[in-house]
Amino acid sequence: MKIAVLGTGYVGLSTGVCLSEIGHNVICIDTDEQKIKSLRQGISPIYEPGLENLLIQNAAAGRLLFTTSHREALNGAEIIIIAVGTPQMEDGGADLSYIVQAAKDIAANLVQSSVVVIKSTVPVGTNDFIKSIIEEHRNESVTFNMVSNPEFLRQGSAVMDTMQADRIIIGSENDEAAKKVQEMYRPLNVPFILTSIRSAEMIKYASNAFLATKISFINEVANLCGVVGADVKDVAKGMGKDKRIGEAFLQPGIGYGGSCFPKDVKALLHTANLNGVHFSLLKETVAINDFQQELLVTKAINRFGDLKGKKVAMLGLAFKPETDDMREAPSIKIARSLTKLGAEVVAYDPVAVDNAKNILGDTIRFASTVREAAVNADAVFIVTEWKEFRLLDLKTLMTTMRRPIVFDGRNCLEEDRIRACKKIEYYPIGRPAI
Ligand code: UGA
């Protein structure tokens, strides 16, 4: 099948690469010439395990092309996938300007009948709106049908999540179009859920909002555990073994971040408000997350009293491991709070330092190793659970720091290892301090 993908962000690029891997002829379009130039050279603009290798292999096999020309990409495309961003606006709603532009570009270059698939996360009703734009601007001799096909891949495991998805949602009002999209995904051997366009749009938001709520729930449980002397690790394990609850997304920490959960929860709240539905549970999800992102700073204030002049080594900047993405990363809020309180922050992350510099500038210092960050530090904050931090050489860390005090925002250090280093003072989330 010939497939055109609009947008080469996380979703567009991962989708394009994976569809070429299962044998389709894919052409990815982006208006950013520099990005297309790098992609043609086999360079992925994002850090995503496994993606670049597949990109190089499929491009070499001639199944994966990159262009800035909609005319070239849409010529002969049986399926056109829209995967451009829908960033958050100030009022919490989703900014649809990129997707509207994509619709106009499609309409202007549609030369044969196609299926237009919206993969971007869009508020309920957007597929209908985009359909009306394409209808208005297209050449009337060509026909098209819309399919809502939301994406559930996670950054850091985008390739695996695409190739081994739990389900593929296909929302359509046209059986032929739905069949065509099923045919495209058939080699993946993943269960399909066929539904209406509006239900498909809602499934995406409801899924992300539910997962975000699950995280806020376990974070509240963790905070309570910390006070009543229970251990959230055992509590989460005990809860998760109940199949109705499930073990995933019960990892407490310093709140969810990234380009999806914060934005999508607020967008769903916005939709609820616009429609007069009082979704108070989601409001609490957001409030708990805001509180949780400040938790390490609060714990440090409780320990030190005053943070003025204290040196904090911040380990991890990315919003989660295996990505260099800094969007809505808890590290940003933590770094800003610490510097506001007069602390000196030196941060290290295996891959996100360049992106972090664009956001935090010279308000904090950046180190190129854990050791460099920890020299003479009064405290270590573990902010992202990179494997490198899980395996930290604690004895060396202890001798490098001024005071061996660790605030572990991701509960990623093992209790036995900490106890073995008798002098470390250790503050996890929702578990007894050591
Ligand atoms: C999330 C969803 O998991 C994907 O299914 C969805 O496709 C994607 O958003 C999207 O809408 O594009 P992602 O943001 O890449 O994916 O990352 P997650 O692995 O879901 O983590 C999100 C945040 O939750 C991270 O900050 C992570 O640290 C936090 N988290 C996750 C926890 O604090 N505890 C957990 O148990 C799990």
Residues 102, 77 within the same domain: yes
Domain assignment present for residue 434? The answer is no
Residue 285 annotated as binding site: no
Residue located via tokens 């050591």: 434
Percent of the chain whose predicted confidence (pLDDT) is above 70: 100
> From the CB of 350, is ligand 1 less than 6 Å away?
no
Instruction: Mark which of 239, 255, 290 sits at the end of a domain.
Output: 290
Ligand 1, atom 23, lies closest to the CA of 256
Tell me how far the alpha carbon of residue 384 lies from the centroid of ligand 1, in angstroms: 13
At 101 the three-state DSSP class reads helix
Do 281 and 299 belong to one domain?
no
**How many domains, the chain?**
3
- Tell whether residue 263 is among the known ligand binding residues: yes
Residue ranges of E strands in 300-362 = 311-315, 344-348
209 and 335 together in one domain = no
* CA geometry: angle 100, 11, 160, nearest 5 deg: 160
pLDDT(425) > 90: yes
Domain C-terminal end among 273, 290, 307: 290
**188 and 253 together in one domain:** no
- Rounded to two decimals, what is the model's pTM? 0.93
Domain membership of residue 235 (yes or no) is: yes
Ligand 1 atom closest to residue 219's alpha carbon, by position in its atom list: 33
In one letter, which amino acid is 346? V
* Ligand 1 centroid, distance to 104 Cα (angstroms): 32
In the residue annotation, 421 being an active-site residue is answered as: no
User: Could you read off the pLDDT of 148-205 as tens digits, one per residue?
Assistant: 999 999 988 999 999 999 999 999 999 999 999 999 999 999 999 999 999 999 999 9
The answer, yes or no, to whether any atom of ligand 1 lies below 6 A from the CB of 58, is: no
Find all residues with CB under 8 Å of 209, minimum gap 6, and list them. Answer: 264, 265, 268, 282, 285
Annotated catalytic residue, options 18, 260, 412, 421: 260
Q: Are 248 and 73 in contact (CB under 8 A)?
A: no
**Torsions phi, psi of 116, nearest 5?**
-100, 120
For residues 46 and 111, membership in a common domain is answered with yes
Residue 432 is assigned to a structural domain of this protein: no
Q: Is the pLDDT of residue 372 over 90?
A: yes
CATH number at residue 423: 3.40.50.720
Is there a single domain that holds both residue 246 and residue 163?
Answer: no
Q: What is the CATH number of the domain that holds 276?
A: 1.10.1040.10
Amino acid letter at 145?
Answer: N
In a domain, 181, yes or no: yes
Determine if ligand 1 sits within 6 Å of the CB of residue 154: yes
Residue 86 known to bind ligand: yes
Note whether 286 and 298 are same-domain residues: no
**pLDDT of res. 88:** 84
26 is in which domain, residue-wise? 2-195
422 labelled binding-site residue: no
Contact (CB, 8 A) for 316 and 247? no
One domain, residues 179 and 121: yes
- 301 and 241 in a common domain: no
Tokens representing 423? 């002098």
Element (H, E) at 4: strand 2-6
As a whole number, mean pLDDT of residues 406-425 equals 91
C-alpha 156 to ligand 1 mean position (Å) = 10
Alpha-carbon distance of 75 to 112, in angstroms, equals 8
Distance in Å, CA 217 to ligand 1 centroid: 15
Mean pLDDT score of the chain: 95
Q: Residues 208, 306: one domain?
A: no
Please tell me the predicted confidence (pLDDT) of residue 309.
95
Residue from 14, 47, 154, 389 to probe ligand 1 pocket by mutation (most atoms less than 8 Å from CB): 154
For residue 67, name the pLDDT band (cuts at 50, 70, 90).
Answer: very high
Q: What is the pLDDT of residue 421?
A: 84
Looking at the domain assignment, is residue 433 inside a domain? Answer: no
Q: What is the pLDDT of residue 130?
A: 97
Ligand 1 pocket mutation, candidates 245, 256, 322, 429, criterion most atoms within 8 A of CB? 256
Mean pLDDT of 138-147: 92
Residue 228 lies in a domain: yes
* 191 lies in the same domain as 215: no
Q: Is 316 annotated as a binding residue?
A: no
Same domain, 175 and 26: yes
Closest ligand 1 atom number to CA of residue 319: 26
Confirm whether 219 is domain-assigned: yes
Q: Where are the alpha helices (DSSP H) in 275-306?
A: 280-293, 295-304
Q: What is the pLDDT of residue 175?
A: 96
List, for residues 376-404, the tens digit of each pLDDT value.
999 999 999 999 999 998 988 889 999 99
Residue pair 409/296 in contact by the 8 Å Cβ criterion: yes
| Mean pLDDT to the nearest integer, 98-121 | 95
Residue 373 lies in a domain: yes
Ligand 1 mean position, distance from CA 365 (Å): 27
- Where among 237, 271, 290 does a domain terminate? 290
Tens of pLDDT, residue by residue over 340-352, are 999 999 999 999 9
